[in-house]
Structure formats: structure tokens, C-alpha cells
Chain A
Amino acid sequence: MTALLEVKNLVKHFEVSRGLVRAVDGVSFSLEKGETLGLVGESGCGKTTTGRCILQLERATSGSILFEGRELTTLDQSELRAVRRKMQVIFQDPYSSLNPRMTVGQIIAEPLAVHGIVRGSAARAARVKDLLSRVGLLPAHARRYPHEMSGGQRQRVGIARALAMEPSLIICDEPVSALDVSIQAQIINLLEDLQSEFGLTYLFIAHDLAVVRHISDRVAVMYLGKIAEMADRKTIYDNPRHPYTKALLSAVPIPDPELEMKRERIVLGGEVPSPLNPPSGCVFHPRCPIAVERCTHEIPVLRDLTPGHGAACHLAEIA
């Protein structure tokens, strides 16, 4: 079976006046059709940049991105246009990604017209109505403006707009991070329903590890531009091997006071270093509770511990 998306050795460096920001530094993963890959990590570790490179909103510094069997990094603008339709994105803040001067109906109808997906305004209005109902909104919402809706409703509009393009891949960049918990659950359920209905494939970027566990089939943990660990959902949550994954999991407080009283936590010291000047060797070594001398100069590669479970740590077996 060939993957829907295959990212190989993706590198994205930004040149800034103070040097080179190594935002994404050699990331590889693949996504099968209908699958959800969760991409987690602290802010600044390169999640959004990875997504933007896949969408070709950023030109990769090097590496390869195969989507539906085609190499995207060498396509010209007109070829890209056609491919882009198949890859949509849902953002954290639906407000800033929706044109405030357009009604919800216009926002959803626009791509239908621009890409010639549905011809004729009556047919488009019907499709808008259909899309609204798929995402749990009412036909009357088509006449509203984004500012007249709640955060959760706006996220539904963002999802409807993405769906309008009939994509095969949706990159969800922190789609529920700005929403209240009761609304988060509504949107996550909606994304799952749409996935099974339309066979969608998701790259689900988030920093909430509990949400990622819920929605993902596989999970990749990023740290400072690299993948620290990657495995199927069950393996990575039940048997994390990278000290960073362990620390992240341990930092999530669990909504149960009795449990929390007994729970030992790994509290990492220090902060994420700047990607302008990443540490030598393993980028995690200055904060790592088990680092040894070797970690300060030898870069660990992401290697398989068991088939499909990779960790970039020299000590993954004994940790």
C-alpha cells in the first residue's frame, strides 16, 4: 500500500538577521489514507512549519514531500494549484482565517466557485446548505458574519470551508486549542465523524496530549525541529521510550485529585533552547534527566526499537 503523504528528511531553515532558525530539521513520516497522525510538541518546535511546508505555503529548504505519489517540492504554480485543493487546513483561530466582511455562506461558496467545484449560484447555495448541516450548523447561519458566531461555531465554518474543496488530506493545526472543553469535545467528535464519512486523512497538530491520544492512530513527538519519538497511539502512551515523551506525559495534570496526590511528576528543568542555536549532540540533552556524556556530542537518529516504534535517543532501551 502506498502512503497518501510521505515526508522525507524535511528541512526548513529561516534566514534571519541573527542567523539561521532551524525550524524543521530532518523530519520524516508518512500518512496512510484514512489515518490520523498526531503531531505534538511544545510551541516553537516546528509543527506549524512542517504543516506549511506540506501545503507548499513555505518552500522546503531540502527534503521531499510526496502527496498522492507526486513530488510537491518541484511542482510549478499551476500544477500546485490543482494539488492544493486536495490538501486543506483548519487553523487554531478560526476568526483570523475567516474574512470578517463576508457572510458564512459567501465564505463557503467562494472556493466552490473559484475552483469550479460547483457551477451555478443556485447549486452552490444548495451545497453550502448541505455543508453547513454536515458540520452541525443551520441553513440560517449562512447569512451570519463570523463575528456574530461563537468560537465553536466559527471552527465549524472553517471545517465546512475545508470540506467544500473535497480534500483527501486535512492539516488540523491546533483546531481545538482555543475552545472551551465542552466545545472541544463537540469539534473532535465532528472531525471523527467527517473522517469516517469522507475517508479523510488528518495530520492533527496539537499540544494537548490527551486530545492527541483520543484522535490519533499514530503519534509523532517533536522537539526543536526533530521527531523525538513516533509510534502507534497505544505504544507511545503505554510504553514511551524517549525521556522527552515521558516528561511531557508526566506534566499533564489529570482531573482526579486523589490520583494527583499520589502521582510523581517529572518536572523538566530549563526551557526549550532557541532553534537559532540548538544544542550539540542530542538537542534534548541539556534538559534530559538521564543524559550521559555521549548525548552531548553524538546526534541520536530516529531508529526503530520495535517495528513502527522509533525513538531518537541513545538510551531508549534502558530509559
Chain B
Amino acid sequence: MADALLDVRHLSTRFTTREGVVRAVDDVSWDVKEGETVALVGESGCGKSVSALSIMRLVAQPAGQIVGGQAVFKGRDLLTLDEEAMRRVRGREIAMIFQEPMTSLNPVLSIGRQLTEGLEIHLGKTPQQARGRAAELLGMVGIPDPERRLPQYPHQFSGGMRQRMMIAMALSCEPSLILADEPTTALDVTIQAQILELMKDLSRRLGVAMLMITHNLGVVARYADRVNVMYAGRIIEQGTARELYGNPRHPYTLGLLRSVPRLDEPRRSRLAPIDGQPPDLTRLPAGCAFLPRCAFRVDRCSVERPPLVPVAHTGPEPHVSACWEAERVIARQETR
């Protein structure tokens, strides 16, 4: 197995709020290998964004604190790097793409300037080289007529074009990893398809690894090699996309897959929701956080939190699930 490019081990991040301590990310481990696309999926509030922000050391302080763990990137733990070295990592080696590009684009700087700035500072290009490269990058992400676009401002771009612009900025520093946090959630399906195909194509061509954060199970199925399913700040199931969709071994993963209507299947007379709602992260129970919504629960679930352990799997890659009844989850599904 190839070495991990980014290896996150036992990461925990908490927020101190008036309501109590929010365990936003709680002892979470996952990795991304060179050139690979790994997904982090789960419902809103389960800790996806905080996971990515923790790795970039951009968690809102002082309320938010990384209280434990490591994020080893190319052999160095990002969580203990000095601020200067961390800035270089952010500018050059790991790039981030957010759901709403306007939050990370500067509204009063031209598109061209926003691109050339990084190229000059981080890659030491001359202003002229940087301009040429900026136009090239815009072309690469499918923005027509780049030369004419460079002097324009973000508000003159549509949502889809801004997201392309964000991708160009992310690629400008030639990173080896991109953390993409719901990059297409705000976009229409046809534009979402354009952007995702573009990202896939570029990551293949340039060998950039990607952490894809999303709540869209279809997007994960199409674009991710491996998947981490999060629930209430923890990873509850982990495996290849094929394995997880074909052989889900956690009631939550199974529930998610069943709750969405699908265009490739006959219409069901009734949808199968997951009852209830996610727990309050300031008042997590002692046992399994999914218990109140779980159809497979047994007595043990309320007293002992299930660890992530290997389950029977079909492919060569490991498949782990945090459920005492993991073997039964599949049994139920077969009798469906």
C-alpha cells in the first residue's frame, strides 16, 4: 500500500460555547494517498468542515481548540508546525476550495491580481510570467476568453465561473492536495456536473490528491475512491466507495443510502427516512451516538461506544465500521 500523503490520526477539535463544550471532531483518523480522491460525507454539523479547517489550522480561535491528534503531511505533523512554516503549507502545498467562493475571493481585487499575487509570492514569478500563467490557469479551468477576464472583478462572474476561478487559484500554487469543502453544493446540477468533471479531470492529469467534503451520496459515488462516513463528530464507517455502497455495514450508512430517492431504481411508494435527528454535540451519550435513531440497537449500544473495527469485506481494501451489530446490518439488507 502506498504511503499516505496526509495521515490524520486521532484528531479532536472542540469548541467552548455557552451551551457547553462542542465535540465537533472527536478522535478521528483518515488518510489520503498521492493522487487519490477521498470523501468525507455526513449530514450538516457532523464535523466535516471543522476536520478540514483543523488540518489547515484555521479553526476559529479561541473558542475552537485542537485538543489532540496529528495530521502528518509529507512526514511533518501540521499541528505542531510553527506559524511561518504553516503559512507556506497553506500557500503552496495544500489548497482549499469552499462552497461559497465569495467568502474567499477578495471583492476589490481583480481576478488577475488575485491569481498573480500568489504566483509572485509563493512561486517567485516575475509579474509578466505571473500574468501569462494566470491566463493559462483560467483557460485550464474552462473560463472562456481569459485575457479579457483577468481585469474583471469577482462580482462580474457567475456562481459557476467563480467556482472555476477558485479552482484556478487552488491550482496556481501547484499543490499536492486540495481540500474541497462542498465545492458544488450551491450550484445547479448542470453546472455542478461541469465543475466536478473539471476537478476530476484536473486531479487526474496533474496528480493532485483531493479530500472531497460533501453530503451528496451521488457525488461521492461518482468521484471518490475511498469514503469516510461521519456522524456526530466521529467516523462511523470507512472503506472504498464500491465497498461502502455495495456492502454498507453501519446502520447510519445504510439509512442514508436508503433515504434518498434514486433515478436508476423503480419509484418506491414510500421513502425510508432515518427517524429522529442528529444528537446535540454538547451532550453526547456514553454509548453509540446513533442509538436513538437506530433500528439495529441492542442493550450494549447504550453503555459502550462501538470502536471502528474491520468487518467482512469483498474487496482487497480494508473496510471498518463502528457498530456492535455490523454483521447484522448486512443480513437485514439482503432480506430487503
The interface of chain A, by Cβ under 8 A from chain B, is: 42-43, 150, 152-153, 180-186, 188-189, 192, 207, 209-211, 213-214, 233, 237, 247-249, 251-260, 265, 267-269, 271-272
Q: Are A255 and B191 within 8 A (Cβ)?
A: no
- Residues B197 and A255 in contact, CB atoms below 8 Å apart: no
In the complex with contacts A182-B255, A185-B272, A256-B245, A251-B189 CB distance below 8 A: yes
B245 partner residues in chain A, CB cutoff 8 A? 255-258
- Interface residues, chain B, CB within 8 Å of chain A? 43-44, 158, 160-161, 188-194, 196-197, 215-224, 241-242, 245-246, 255-257, 259-264, 267-268, 270-275, 277
Residue in contact with B264 in the complex, picked from A152, A186, A207, A259, CB distance below 8 Å: A259
What are 14 contact pairs spanning A and B, CB under 8 A? A152-B277, A184-B259, A185-B272, A210-B260, A210-B262, A211-B261, A248-B189, A248-B190, A251-B192, A254-B222, A254-B264, A256-B245, A257-B242, A271-B160
A-B pairs with lowest CB-CB distance, top 10: A253-B218, A185-B273, A182-B274, A180-B43, A42-B188, A185-B271, A255-B217, A214-B261, A251-B193, A185-B259
| Nearest B residue (CB) for A263 | B222
Name A268's contact: one of B43, B194, B259, B261 (CB within 8 Å). B194
Distance, CA A185 to CA B261, complexed state (A):
8
Asked if B260 contacts A255 (CB within 8 A), the reply is yes
When C-beta atoms are compared, the residue in chain A nearest to B273 turns out to be A185
A180 to B259, CA, bound (A): 10
8 Å CB contact of A267 from B197, B223, B224 = B197
Q: Are A251 and B190 in contact (CB under 8 A)?
A: yes
A210 close to B190 (CB less than 8 A): no
Kindly list chain B residues whose C-beta atoms are within 8 Å of the C-beta of A185: 259-260, 271-274
Measured CA separation A189–B268 after assembly (Å): 11
Once A210-B261, A253-B221 are accepted as A-B contacts, the answer to whether A258 and B271 lie under 8 Å apart by CB is no
- B191 to chain A: which residues have CB within 8 Å? 42, 271
Which of B44, B188, B193, B242 interacts with A180 by CB under 8 Å? B44
A207 contacts B189, C-beta separation under 8 Å: yes
CA distance A25 to B274 in the complex (A): 41
- For residue B51, give the distance in angstroms from its CB to the closest CB of chain A: 17
CA distance A194 to B219 in the complex (A): 32
**A253 & B222 in contact (Cβ 8 Å cutoff):** yes
Determine whether the beta carbon of A192 is less than 8 Å from that of B270.
yes
Whether the pair B271, A189 counts as a contact (CB closer than 8 A) is: yes
Q: Which residues of chain A are near B262, meaning CB under 8 Å?
A: 210, 254-256
Chain B hits for A150, CB < 8 A = 277
Whether A255 and B194, one on each chain, are in contact in the complex, defined by CB atoms closer than 8 angstroms, is no
Min CB–CB distance B16 → chain A (angstroms): 20
Cβ contacts under 8 Å, A189 to chain B: 270-271, 273
Most buried by B among A185, A188, A209: A185
Q: Which residues of A contact B161 (CB under 8 A)?
A: 271
- Do A182 and B259 touch (CB < 8 A)? yes
